[in-house]
Structure 1
């Protein structure tokens, strides 16, 4: 187990109170994230079909046109993988 996996295991077990051994995937979202009805199916299908995938990020979309320049920077970071 890597240090990250060990930390996630302890946080899930000690803080949240669930047994991580029962779960295959962990999904987290930002506070301002909108999840569509089919999102979970698409997220699970990707690593299930390709075992080399260890992380997935959704596609950012512009909602607030007033903060367009800030959103462009965030979208660039997502695509670059920063």
Structure 2
């Protein structure tokens, strides 16, 4: 496949997919933004804890819940 054909294929398939991704990200972002703003307005504290393994993940969750943590949950996100 030539470079021009490859670029055309990426533009035809990639650009619409990227646009949809941006729209979905904005919608999800606004949902989380509203949720966090509501929690903070109610006196909550927003806290992220990054751990290196499942054992420490469980320990972190147990500590937060043991000290009256509300809505404590785990995400498999990575940066």
> Which of the five TM-score ranges fits, normalised by the shorter chain?
under 0.3
What is the TM-score normalised by the length of structure 1? 0.24
Structure with more contact order per residue of length (Cα contacts < 8 Å, sep ≥ 6): 1
Which protein has the larger Cα radius of gyration, Structure 1 or Structure 2? Answer: 2
What is the TM-score normalised by the length of structure 2? 0.24
Bigger helix share: 2
